[in-house]
Structure 1
Amino acid sequence: MSTSVLIIGGRSDIGLALAHRYAAAGYAVQLAARNAQGLAADAADIALRHGVEATLHELDILEAETFAPFVDGLPVLPNVAICVVGLLGEQSVSQQDPTVAARVMRSNYEGPALITGLLADRFEARGTGTLVGISSVAGERGRASNYVYGSAKAGYTAFLSGLRNRLAKTGVHVVTVIPGFVRTRMTEGMDLPPRLTAEPSEVAAAVFNATEKRRDVVYVKPVWRLVMAVIRALPERVFKSTKL
C-alpha cells in the first residue's frame, strides 16, 4: 500500500500547496473540505501531475458529530494527517458579535483540536503516524489587533503540545507548525512585511521536512522565533502601551 496524507482544509492555498508537495514525494492525497466536490479539478490535477491517487472527502470542521464517520469513511487511515483549517475573521467584528467570535474560536480551536484528537487515538491504536497542526504566532501572546483569533490558536498550540507529550512514548509523532504571515487569499489586501511573510509553497516545504525529520515545533520563517521571544518577554506594563 502507498503512503498517504490527509489534508484537512484542502481548499486553502496552504492545503493545496501541501497536497502537491506530498504528492510529489509519492504520497496518495486525501483532500478534506466543505463542498469537497468543488475540488474535483484540483484532485485531478494532483493525480495527473504526480501520478498518485487523490481523493475528496466532505468535512465541516464545525460539525464534530461527523468526525468519527468521516475518519471511518477514508479509503485508508493515512500515514500523515495535517490540519490546516483556519478562520482569521475581523477583530473589530468578533469583539462585538459573540456569534462571529464563536465561529472564529470554534474554527481555529474546537474543531481542529477534536479532529486531531480523534486521529491521534486511531494512530495510537495502529502504533504509527504523524499529526501536524498549523497554529499561529498570534497564539503566543494576546494582542489587541487579533486576540479572538489569537486566543483560539493559543488553545490549539497548547492542545498539540499536550498531545505530543502524551504520545511521546508511542509510535505517533505530533508536529506544531507556526507559519507567521503567509501570502494567501485570507491575507489578501494586507500590508505584509516581506521578511516575515512566507509563500504557501514555503509552508508546505517546512511541513514536509518536519514530518520527515520528526521535528516538534517549527517556525516556517525562523526569524519569527526571535520576534515572538521579544514580544513574550515584554513586561505587561510595557506591552499595554504597544500597538500590536
Structure 2
Amino acid sequence: MTGVGETGDTGDVWVVIGASSSVGRAFAMEAAKAGADIVLAARDLEDIEASAADIAVHTGRRTEAMHWDATAFDDHDAFVGDVWRFAARKRLNVFFAAGTMRNQDEAIADFSIARQIVEVNYLSFVSVATRLEPGLRAQKGGRVVVLGSVAGDRGRRLNFVYGSAKAGLHAFLGGWRSRLQPDGVSVLTVKPGFLDTAMTWGQPGLFLVASPQGAAKACLKAANKGRNEIYYPAFWRLIMTIIKSVPEVLFKRLSI
C-alpha cells in the first residue's frame, strides 16, 4: 500500500508489531507524521490493511501491512525477511506492542492459558528480536521500542503470570540493550501503567487510566532521545518505587 507524496522523508522505516492494538496504531501514525515509512504487522491482516491505507492518506508515507502471528514462531523468519526487503536501504526501527492479558485464575487452572500469556508477552519478542539482530547490528543504528508493563516490576497476587512474562521481557531488553549499544542501536523499555486499550477493557481495579495516543507520543519522543527506560505516565515510577520497597513479609499479605 503506497501513500501519495514523499515529503519530509527521514530515511527511517518503523515496523510496528502488534499494530492492531490502539497504542500500535497511534504510534504508527505519529511515526509517519514525523516522516518515516511504516510496516504494520498483526494477525488480523484486513484490519491493519485499513490502518495502513488511512496512514498513507493522512501522511503521504509509504506503508505496508504484513501478517504476523505472535505464536507462529516458525513463520517469523519469513516475516523478518519481508520487513528487511521493505526497508531496503533505509534505517529500520522496531516498535513492539504485542501482548495479551488473561484472567489470573483461569491461567492457573489451565496451563494452555498460562502458556499463551508467556508466549505472546515474552517469547514472541525473543523470536523476532533474535532474527532482527543481525540486520540491526549491520546497519549500525536504529531504535527499538518495546512495551513492557509496570506489572513486571514485582509479582503481585492478582496478575503474577502476566507480570512474570513482562519481567522476563524487561530482563531480556536490559541485556540486549547492552549488547547492541556498541553498534549504535538503542533499546527503549516502556513501562506503562493502565492504558485505555482493548486488553484492559473490563479489568477490575483500574485507576489513572492513560490514553494510547499520549503513550505513543511519549514513546516516540523517548526513542528519539535514545532513552533506556521510561514509565508512562511518569508518576508510575514513584508508585512502583513504593511498591517495590514494601518488605516481602508485608507484601504477601496484600490483596493486590
- Which of structure 1's runs of 4+ aligned residues deviate more than 4 A? none
Are 2:75 and 1:63 aligned?
no
What is the distance in 2 between the residues matched to 1:162 and 1:22? 26
What is the distance in 1 between the residues matched to 2:80 and 2:116? 23
SS at match of 2:69: coil
Q: Deviations over 1:150-171 (max 9, x none)?
A: 0000000000000001122221
User: Which of 148, 155, 160 is 2:161 aligned to?
Assistant: 148
What is the distance in 1 between the residues matched to 2:228 and 2:135? 20
Match of 1:180 in 2: 193
User: Which of 40, 43, 52 is 2:61 aligned to?
Assistant: 52
Match of 2:178 in 1: 165
What is the distance in 2 between the residues matched to 1:116 and 1:51? 29
SS at match of 2:181: coil
Match of 1:135 in 2: 148
Contact preservation (8 Å) 1:83, 1:116: no
SS at match of 1:169: helix
Contact preservation (8 Å) 2:41, 2:48: no
The CA deviation at 1:35 is: 2.8
Are 2:42 and 1:16 aligned?
no
Q: Note the residue ranges of structure 2 that are not aligned, 5 or more in a row.
A: 1-8
TM-score (normalised: structure 2):
0.91
The CA deviation at 1:193 is: 1.5
Contact preservation (8 Å) 1:23, 1:52: yes
- Structural mapping, 1:172-211, within 5 Å: 172-190=185-203, 191-194=205-208, 197-211=209-223
Equivalent residue letter for 2:223: T
What is the distance in 1 between the residues matched to 2:153 and 2:21? 23
What is the distance in 2 between the residues matched to 1:31 and 1:15? 8
User: Which of 33, 37, 50 is 1:28 aligned to?
Assistant: 37
What is the distance in 2 between the residues matched to 1:113 and 1:227? 28
Match of 1:232 in 2: 244
Are 2:100 and 1:87 aligned?
yes
The CA deviation at 1:129 is: 1.2
Percent identity among equivalent residues? 36
Match of 1:241 in 2: 253
SS at match of 2:243: helix
What is the distance in 1 between the residues matched to 2:19 and 2:103? 22
The CA deviation at 1:116 is: 2.1
Q: Note the residue ranges of structure 1 that are not aligned, 5 or more in a row.
A: none
The CA deviation at 1:189 is: 2.4
RMSD of the TM alignment (CA)? 1.3
Distance 1:54 1:41, change over 3 A: same
What is the distance in 2 between the residues matched to 1:233 and 1:113? 30
Match of 1:99 in 2: 112
SS at match of 2:41: strand
Q: Deviations over 1:38-92 (max 9, x none)?
A: 3222111110011111100111111222112111112116521011000011101
Equivalent residue letter for 2:63: A
What is the distance in 2 between the residues matched to 1:185 and 1:220? 18
What is the distance in 1 between the residues matched to 2:210 and 2:44? 27
Contact preservation (8 Å) 2:17, 2:98: yes
Match of 1:124 in 2: 137
What is the distance in 1 between the residues matched to 2:135 and 2:35? 23
Match of 1:76 in 2: 87
SS at match of 1:55: strand
SS at match of 2:254: coil
